[in-house]
Every structure is written in C-alpha cells, then in structure tokens.
Amino acid sequence: MCIRRIFIRPGGSLAKFSFGFEIFKRPLGRGLGLGVAVLLTVMALASYGLGRTAENFLLDLCCRMQPASPPPREVVIVGIDTDSFEALGHSWPWPRKYHARLIDRLTKAGASLIVFDIFFGEETDAENDRLLTRAVQKSGKVVLARVIESTQDPLFSRQIILNPLGSLCAAAYGVGVGVITPDADGVVRHFTTSLAGQRTLPSEVVRLLGPKRALPPDLTGLIRYTGPPGHLENIPYFQVLAGEEHHLRERIQNRIVLVGRLVEDNPLSQGRVDAFLTPYSRGSPGFMSGVEIQGNIIYNLLTGTWNREISPAERYGFYFAVLLIFSLLSAWLSPAASLGLLAALGLALGLGAWAALCYFQVWIQPVLLALGLAMIYGVNLFTHHVSGLQEKRWLHQALTHYVSQEVVEVLMAHPERLKLGGEALEATVMFADLAGFAELTPQMAPRDLVKLLSDYFTPLTNIVLAHGGTLDKYIDSCLMAVWGAPLPQSDHARRACQAALAMQRRIEEDLRDRQARGQAFLGLRIGLHSGQVMAGNVGSRERFSYTIMGDTVNLAHRLEELNRVYGTHLILSGATRKLAGPGFLMRELDQVQVRGRVQPVTVFELIWAAPGEPVPLWLSTFEEARAAFLGRNWDKAASLFEEVIRLKPEDGPAALYLRRCRRCQETPPPAGWEGISALEAR
C-alpha cells in the first residue's frame, strides 16, 4: 500500500462503530437525552450541597463588583469605638447612665428610632439601671435586643430566648432578636425576619415604622450590602454625648440610629465584639461589625432592595432550557465550535449573574449550570473522540511504515501535508557526532558496536525530544536533529543550545562512569547553526521521507567537524548565538571563510556553567589574548595564551592560537589582514 492510497471506505468498520444505543445515533435524540441526563446529575449534586463553595465565591465576587452607591440616608450608626473608650475612661461594660444620656440627646436630635445592638440582660447598680429605664421610657423610640442561646446537649437540643431586664423590656418601644447567623463557611450573606418564632431586630424596626412596611414573618433573602465595612455613616459615641445639639440634629433628625460596638483593626484583640465575615472579607478590612450588618439589613427591608435567590422550580427550569439548547447545538457542531460556544455561554453566565444581581436583585446560582455545560461538552468530546479512534489508529499505523513518529503526529494533525514538496522554515539544526567511534570500530564486534551506539544514542535522543526537538536521522555515528521543524518554534535556537549543553553533560557523566568500570567510551562533538531550511517530504510518490535540506544543514555539519580543529566540543554560529538570547556562557572562537559564502561566519564555543557562576579567569584571559592577536600584538597575545593554557591545560583554542602567534611572529600577515581563517574542516 502506498501513502497516496490511504482512505476510509464509506460503510466500512468505522462507519459501523457505535455505542449500540439508538438515542446516541442521531444528533437530536442524543442532544435531548444528554440534556435530561445532565440536568438530573446537576440536581443530584445540588441536593448534596456540592458546588456550594464555588457558588459562594462567585456570589461574593459579584457583591464586591456592585456599582458604588453613597451611604444610605435612612440609617446612621453611633459607634462605640476606641476613641469613645478613651474619652469616657471606662472599660466595657460602661455604666448605663451614659446610655441614658445618649438616648436623651438622640431623642432631642429627632431620631426616628434608637436601636441598641447591645444586650442589657443583667442587672448592674440600681441607680444606673433606673436612669436607663427612665430614659428608654421617656424617649418612646428605643428598640432593644434580645438574644437566643442554644443548649449544647447532644441528646436534647433547644433554643432559649433571653430578654432584656424586665423593667427595660417593659419600657422599650420594641424588642427584637439581635442574633446574626452566618452561613456554613462563616460568611454572613443571608437574613431572616424571624428566629425561634421571634422577630429579628431589623424586622421589628420595620414593623414599628408603620403598617405600610409590613413584612412576611418568615421572609429570608440575601443581604445587599451597600458597601464594604465602614460604608454606613458613623458618629462616634463620645461625640453624641459631647456635641452641640444643633449640629447633632443635622445628622440625626428623622433617621434610624443604631448603637453598637465597632470593629477596629483586629477584632480578636478587643474582647467580645460582634465581628463577622462578609462578601467583602476577601479584601481589606476583613471584618464587619454586627451593628453595621444590622444597619444594612434594615436598609434592605425599608427599601425592598434585598437580593433574592431564584426558587428551585425557576432554577431547574432555567437550567434545563440552557442545557437542552447547548446539548442540541453541540451535537451538530465540531468540538472546536462547541468549545467556542461553551466559552461564550460561560462568559454570558458570569456577566448575566452579575447583571441580574446588581440590577434586578436576583441571584441565578450559575455555577452548577456551568458545570452541567462542561459535562455536556466533555461527553460530546468523548463520543467524538471514540467515534474517530479506529480511523486515527489505522491511519497512524499506516503512516509509521513510512515516516518517523515525530512527523506522524504532525501529519495526523495536518493530513494536507501528505504530499510531495516542502515549506521554508526558520530552524536550528544540530549535528552531534560520537568522537572516537571510528577508532573503536576495528576493535569491536559488530554486535558490541551496535549496542555501544544504542547506549549513547538512546539518552541523547531523549534529551533532544525533551527539549522539543525533532530527530531527523542517524548517519553512522552522527545524530541529526532540528528545532523549528516540522512545527515552527519561536525559541528554536534557545532550545537547541539547552539540549546541546544537556547532551554534553550527559556524555561527561557517562565518560566518568565508563572510565571507572574500564569500558570503552566516546566523546561528543556538536555543531549548531540557525537559518532557513526547506522541510518536507522528499522522495518518489510511492516512497518518501520527511527531512530538512539547505545551506543551514550543510553549515551545521561543517561546524560540528570544526570542533576537531579547535579541540572543542560544542561550536555554534553567530546566527544561533543571536537567536538563543541571554543566559548562556560563550566565547568567540574565530571568523572562518566558508566555501560558497561571501561573508565569513563568526563561530562561538558554547560553554556549560552553573547558574550564577562568575566568568572564569581563563575565559576572560582568552578574550584579552584574542583581542591582542587581532591587534597584531603577537608577543602579548602569545604570553596571554600561554597563561590560558596554564589555567586550563586542556584548552584547545588557546593552543591553536598560540601556534598561530608563533607563525605570525615568524611571518607576519600582510597589511589589511582581518584575522579571518579559512575553514579548516571540509
């Protein structure tokens, strides 16, 4: 069989491949069945509370992204803060005479209601209790807080309602439960108008303001925070006691005043303070005072601006409509188009959830719906993959008889490349030759030679592949590889340099190991050059192979051979050096004139160095010596090259330049000499 005859027969085994279920054989039936199945799965997940964490995260994010609004005029906080503690000079709890004075001043200032988010459940001295009771009664506008405590007995659990002192309770205009209940993750998102059969503090406030503001007794919803902690207007407690009456009236008149302790910096350092996490707690500040949360709830109830979660019926009806539409469309679309549709729906869900919350006060709970859409895409992707698996496997097996594995992957992704011809690509070519192999050939049996080559080529090839290279071919004891073909790579030169250094390190480790065991060993010479290559299928129409050609390949081969002249292991061209970028230690070796090229080629040696290691002295001395050599200062150059050899006895380039210095001392080059050498390898 030849490549040009590869095809899939209609009605063949691939066409007959199916799951065996009629519902999955037609797009309409598959889409409908899949939509229903995913909806049922999502409902089951929701019943177990799965996805709640992600749902809360998205809800909190949308809350923080609500458009900014000014502090509401309806409520104001009289905050018990650090400055008030310092001004009054008392620790908590304060003498109740201060609260009595506060009530008197707030009443005179025209407060519509005075709401204490403070529990007065215990008696203090009689005089203070009497003063507070009289002030509450005289004002006729004071709402006090009651609390609920739960027993911890695992066998018998009940809630106990604790009221304020009897005299205060009788004198108060109203009493409500001042308890705030966070969600399971500790964040306060929800409110309710009743707890244990008693009105909460906010619902009691709304009730007292008149029948037009009546609320259902069991209303629940999402708090719509007007802003982050500290957004509600706050007047320090001590300023109310000490401020001028006309200034106080301007800030208090016809407003609901909430009195309570504020969170400042770390609430844990302030003793028992009502401090809660809110949707804003992922930012700074992290905690919100209980009194400010109560103020937000009161404002929501007064203005009807709380957020509502859609009911289960609305939720699953919406889910089913979206899931069904996506399932039907994706059954007809390609995986790529389905992915685009999934991304568009995901973006629309996110923006829609935010818009519904901000402008319509409705939370649509989109996370499980998004998960359902992803499930549908995943199932369709799987079925698409399975339906084409036999075809791809068969084509893959056919191609491996003709081309290398690396090219197979490209051809599988781009079958249009299964034709004679090629394409011009920018690439870096490597030739890596096992030094010393020719000398070992007469001394070893063929089987041992093959094993030796395999022992070396296997790790070297793995390094090439690990750095994104493509193995082109093996030529005797030489390995040819390329970066940037058959697929373009923007960093092909850098990858090739990294691979070359890794290969050289691997050979050095192998050398020490084989020397220790008394086994035959080989060195490695590498040449790298970057430029344009012609990459493609070469051969006849019946038999061809994928390879690269061009002057870039030839020069890379010549640079590999040039290592023999300089006594080096890794030579690269100036083009590769420029494209490789920073981070490599190199030294310029020479400028060589290559046959067929007008301009000389600058060649460099790539040197392995540990990260952060300073430039070695021998290298800086070599560069100084070469500068002296090019400046025709033969004596100085020779002296410096001798110093390099003293510092690094095995340095081949220094020994070569020292011989050149001796020749130039005996026979100086002619005027106009530019230090260009003829290529001393074929």
Which pLDDT value is given to residue 26? 62
- Claim to verify: residue 74 and residue 55 sit in the same structural domain: no
pLDDT > 60? residue 266 = no
Would residue 665 count as lying in a domain?
yes
pLDDT > 90? residue 158 = no
Which pLDDT value is given to residue 513? 84
% the chain with pLDDT above 90: 55
Residue finishing a domain among 574, 596, 612:
612
Question: What is the spatial distance between Cα 479 and Cα 525, in angstroms, rounded to a whole number?
Answer: 10
The tokens describing 152, both together, are 């911890």
- Claim to verify: residue 242 and residue 360 sit in the same structural domain: no
Average pLDDT over residues 380-395: 69
The residue segments making up the domain with residue 356 are 27-63+310-387
Q: Which residues contact 671 (CB under 8 A, 6 or more apart)?
A: none
Which pLDDT value is given to residue 542? 59
**Span 303-355, pLDDT tens digits:** 999 999 998 899 899 999 999 899 888 878 888 898 999 999 999 999 999 99
Phi, psi of 500 (to 5 degrees): -60, -45
Would residue 3 count as lying in a domain?
no
Would residue 257 count as lying in a domain?
yes
- Claim to verify: residue 641 and residue 587 sit in the same structural domain: no
DSSP string over 666-680: HSPPPTT---EEE--
Which pLDDT value is given to residue 101? 96
Would residue 401 count as lying in a domain?
no
Which pLDDT value is given to residue 265? 53
Question: What is the spatial distance between Cα 190 and Cα 222, in angstroms, rounded to a whole number?
Answer: 4
Residue finishing a domain among 279, 306, 333:
306
Would residue 348 count as lying in a domain?
yes
Which pLDDT value is given to residue 24? 45
Which pLDDT value is given to residue 273? 62
Average pLDDT over residues 440-456: 86
Mean pLDDT for the chain overall: 85
Question: What is the spatial distance between Cα 163 and Cα 144, in angstroms, rounded to a whole number?
Answer: 9
- Claim to verify: residue 372 and residue 234 sit in the same structural domain: no
Indicate which CATH number applies to the domain containing 574.
Answer: 3.30.70.1230
Residue 522's nearest CA partner among 470, 460, 466 is 460
Structure confidence at residue 7 as a pLDDT band (50, 70, 90): very low
Average pLDDT over residues 68-90: 92
Which pLDDT value is given to residue 555? 95
Would residue 399 count as lying in a domain?
no
- Claim to verify: residue 335 and residue 475 sit in the same structural domain: no
Which pLDDT value is given to residue 612? 77
- Claim to verify: residue 352 and residue 483 sit in the same structural domain: no
- Claim to verify: residue 158 and residue 224 sit in the same structural domain: yes
Residue 521's nearest CA partner among 530, 512, 534 is 512
- Claim to verify: residue 471 and residue 433 sit in the same structural domain: yes
Count Cβ neighbours within 10 Å for each residue of 465-480 and write b for 16 or more, e otherwise.
eebbbbbbeeeebbbb
Question: What is the spatial distance between Cα 191 and Cα 202, in angstroms, rounded to a whole number?
Answer: 9
**Span 99-137, pLDDT tens digits:** 999 999 999 999 999 999 999 989 899 999 999 999 999
Going from the C-alpha of 125 to that of each of 130, 167, 239, the distances in angstroms are 9, 14, 25
- Claim to verify: residue 591 and residue 635 sit in the same structural domain: no
Question: What is the spatial distance between Cα 615 and Cα 622, in angstroms, rounded to a whole number?
Answer: 11
Q: How many domains does the chain have?
A: 4
Which pLDDT value is given to residue 490? 92
- Claim to verify: residue 625 and residue 481 sit in the same structural domain: no
pLDDT > 80? residue 519 = no
Structure confidence at residue 452 as a pLDDT band (50, 70, 90): confident
% the chain with pLDDT above 70: 86
**Span 220-247, pLDDT tens digits:** 999 999 999 999 999 999 999 987 888 8
Would residue 7 count as lying in a domain?
no
Residue 372's nearest CA partner among 15, 46, 622 is 46
- Crossing angle (nearest 10°) for helices 634-647 and 652-666: 160
Residue finishing a domain among 275, 306, 337:
306
- Claim to verify: residue 533 and residue 641 sit in the same structural domain: no
Phi, psi of 569 (to 5 degrees): -120, -20
- Claim to verify: residue 555 and residue 621 sit in the same structural domain: no
Would residue 338 count as lying in a domain?
yes
Which pLDDT value is given to residue 281? 86
Which pLDDT value is given to residue 437? 86
